[in-house]
Amino acid sequence: MANDELHEYLRNLNDWELVPGNKEIKKAFKFKNFSKALYFVNEVGRIAESENHHPDIEFGWGYCCIRLSTHSIGGLHENDFIVAAKIDGIKNA
Model confidence band, residue 91 (pLDDT cutoffs 50, 70, 90): confident
CA distance 28 to 59: 10
| Mean pLDDT along residues 64-79 | 94
Residue 53 maps to a domain: yes
Q: Does residue 65 sit within a domain?
A: yes
Domain that holds residue 43: 3-88
What is residue 92's predicted lDDT score, i.e. its pLDDT? Answer: 63
Total count of domains within the chain: 1
Beta strands in 9-93 (DSSP E): 17-18, 25-30, 56-60, 63-68
CATH classification of the domain holding 70: 3.30.1360.20
C-alpha dist (Å) from residue 51 to 20, 44, 46, 71? 25, 11, 9, 15
What's the residue count for the chain? 93
Q: At residue 93, does pLDDT exceed 70?
A: no
pLDDT tens digits along 9-66? 999 999 999 999 999 999 999 999 999 999 999 999 999 999 999 999 999 999 999 9
Is pTM beyond 0.75 here?
yes
Domain membership flag for residue 7 = yes
Establish if 93 belongs to a structural domain.
no
